[in-house]
Amino acid sequence: MLFSAVVAGLIGLACASPAPKPASETNLARRQSGPNYPVYTFDQLIDHFPDSDRYTPHTNDTFKQRYVYDSTYYKPGGPIFLYIGGETSVESRLENIESGIIQILMNATNGLGIILENRYYGDSYPLPGSTTDELRFLTTEQTIADNAYFAQHVQLPGINGSINAPDTPWILYGGSLAGAQTAFSVKTYGDILYGGIAASAPIHVVLGYSEWYAPIQKFAPQDCVASINAIIDKMDYLISTNNTAAIQELKSIFGLGSLGDIRDFAMTIAFPLGGPMNYPTNTWQELNWSPLYGSNDFWNFCNNVSDINAPANITAVDNQLAKYTNGEPWTNLGNYANYVKQIVLPYCTSGDYDSTNDGCFSTQNVSYWADTTNSGGRSYLYSTCIEQGAYQVAPPSGPSLVSRVLQVDYTQQWCTWAFPAGEYNTIPSTPDLTQYTKYGDFNFSAPRLAFIDGNQDVWLDLCYHSNDAPARYSSDLHPEHLIAGAGHHWDSYGIKDIPAEPQFIRNAHYWEIRTVQKWLRSRQSSSKRDQVVKGREL
């Protein structure tokens, strides 16, 4: 697969493709041209668990873990806000301390903000390559141990005096995968880390995650949704009846006649919606309340699919396959195919879509997956394969936006090809989800751990406010907030002007500020109480 698509996964931002850049990459570049934060490194332990069989052979070595910090609002005695880097580089998280949630919280509390890059991402690789053996230290428990060890030991250049945990209150923030790591860190290291906000955090995981498409099915413009559902039903009917000639005709309508594997075809035409693990353009997940951060690709796609003014030669395509479906036209097929041809296919600059499994849209080249060069995409796939799962699949029943050929086996084959057994480390045949669920699953609870989610997030059903979770009730010690109308950790974005934000985001930010301020006040009053008690003891 020469075509290097975006790793969709739980990441909040699309756009890592070397192909023509989607609109939001321009935004990304704009965001990154903000203040220049020097990047520092911390000597982090590669192996926090010298007694665990999981990590043999052990090592006492350290690696350089990158971080940046911002002391613009800091006054000695203020709290430390640790932004958990998650599945991307420290650079791509800078907006969070510059104008996002960390800036908001620092400004409200005279705090200091730090972004810590996740091991095996950005430039924080413990080992030279990413063979299956070299990846053995990339686990959730090692990653969250990094957070606690860092909080206890980092010395910030230019900051006098200790800011280390637990004497100074450290409050974590993470969105998405990093949100789950925030929750797991605060729960596991509550004696070191004072609190945390877990945004859109997948604390519950499943193997096949068809609910990824549920908010699109429910909230996207319904004429667009209904026509895609009907097209997919017809396509799946051709597949289930082995109508090879008709399937070939369908592929050719999308300009993808040369693509061999039917699942690769199904994924490619699903790109504007979001393919399993990969997509080159931006989807529902990349919508955002602020035009600074979001992309309109999804709206453009849906408006194209349901365009009632398309030229006759495009609408004529709707009747081309009617002969296979009892004369029923494939409404909006011409529009859908035209969009894919105009917007998706040009990402393949070679114009070679398959050619014996090596073209842009084929995922069937085993040696492509087996490349052991360090990369964020590979690290993310590894975590997915060993612990996280949540493979995007078609729903088991009801209407679908993607073909039902997209099942767990499609993603699992990549795991198998990418991570052949090493000398010391072998990936499980299917992800060991207990590595996530053991922290509490839907019963997750830890003092001063706040959960915030968006009800239109594609990852919602893995989060605290999942439709499958019990009703939630908030308290100061266990705060929770579900933002109506919001997507994937939308609270992490800011514009340095809270009153100018849309009301649902503004009020989420006020809630986060109050939550953190209450925690800090209760700490101050309890430490005063401790002093009084100590005074009496003397």
Ligand X SMILES: *[C@@H]1O[C@H](CO)[C@@H](O)[C@H](O)[C@H]1NC(C)=O
CB of 153 to ligand X, least distance (A): 17
Residues numbered 507 to 536 that lie near ligand X (CB under 6 A) are none
Name residue, tokens 């989060």. Answer: 463
458 phi, psi to nearest 5 deg: -60, -25
| Residue 442 touching ligand X (CB under 6 A) | yes
CB neighbours of 412 closer than 8 A, spacing ≥ 6? 385, 391, 430
Contact by Cβ (8 Å): 455, 465: yes
CB of 252 to ligand X, least distance (A): 11
Name residue, tokens 């349901």. Answer: 306
CB of 76 to ligand X, least distance (A): 8
Element spanning 7, H or E? strand 6-7
Q: Out of 422, 430, 441, 455, name the contact with ligand X by CB under 6 A.
A: 441
Identity of the amino acid at 270: A
CA atoms of 281 and 33, how far apart (whole Å): 22
Q: Which DSSP letter does residue 343 get?
A: I
Contact region with ligand X (CB under 6 A), list: 148-156, 163-171, 228-236, 436-444? 436-444
Cα–Cα–Cα angle for 507, 510, 514, nearest 5°? 140
| Residue 326 touching ligand X (CB under 6 A) | no
10 Å CB burial of residue 61 (0-12, 13-18, 19+) is: exposed
Under rule CB under 6 A, how many of the chain's residues touch ligand X?
Answer: 30
Q: Which is closer to ligand X, CB of 123 or CB of 506?
A: 506
Q: Out of 123, 233, 236, 307, name the contact with ligand X by CB under 6 A.
A: 307
Q: Which is closer to ligand X, CB of 118 or CB of 362?
A: 362
> What tokens appear for 276 in the block?
């399993």
- Which residue, judged by CB position, is nearest to ligand X in the bound state? 303
| Residue 472 touching ligand X (CB under 6 A) | no
| Residue 358 touching ligand X (CB under 6 A) | yes
Contact region with ligand X (CB under 6 A), list: 80-88, 128-136, 356-364, 399-407? 356-364
| Residue 311 touching ligand X (CB under 6 A) | yes
| 142-181 footprint of ligand X as x/- string (CB under 6 A) | ----------------x-x---------------------
Name residue, tokens 């039903």. Answer: 233
Residues numbered 52 to 91 that lie near ligand X (CB under 6 A) are 58-60
Q: Which is closer to ligand X, CB of 118 or CB of 254?
A: 254
The full DSSP string for 92-116 is GGTHHHHTSHHHHHHHHHT-EEEEE
Q: Which is closer to ligand X, CB of 33 or CB of 242?
A: 242
| Residue 303 touching ligand X (CB under 6 A) | yes
- Total residues belonging to the chain: 538
56, 59, 60, 63 alpha-carbon torsion, rounded to 10°: -120
Q: Which is closer to ligand X, CB of 123 or CB of 131?
A: 131
| Alpha helices by DSSP H, 220-261 | 222-240, 244-253
CB of 344 to ligand X, least distance (A): 11
CA atoms of 471 and 448, how far apart (whole Å): 19
Contact by Cβ (8 Å): 455, 200: no
| Residue 372 touching ligand X (CB under 6 A) | no
CB neighbours of 100 closer than 8 A, spacing ≥ 6? 492, 493, 494
CB of 533 to ligand X, least distance (A): 32
| Residue 474 touching ligand X (CB under 6 A) | no
| Residue 304 touching ligand X (CB under 6 A) | yes
| Residue 203 touching ligand X (CB under 6 A) | no
CB of 72 to ligand X, least distance (A): 9
Contact by Cβ (8 Å): 114, 83: yes
| Residue 445 touching ligand X (CB under 6 A) | no
* Burial letters 378-389, b for 16+ CB under 10 A, else e: bbbbbbbbbbbb
Element spanning 69, H or E? strand 62-70
Element spanning 313, H or E? helix 312-315
Q: Which is closer to ligand X, CB of 218 or CB of 496?
A: 496
| Residue 357 touching ligand X (CB under 6 A) | yes
| Residue 373 touching ligand X (CB under 6 A) | no
| 240-259 footprint of ligand X as x/- string (CB under 6 A) | -xx-----------------
Residues that bind ligand X (CB under 6 A): 58-60, 107-108, 158, 160, 241-242, 300, 303-304, 307, 311, 313-314, 317, 338, 343, 356-358, 365, 367-368, 371, 441-443, 496
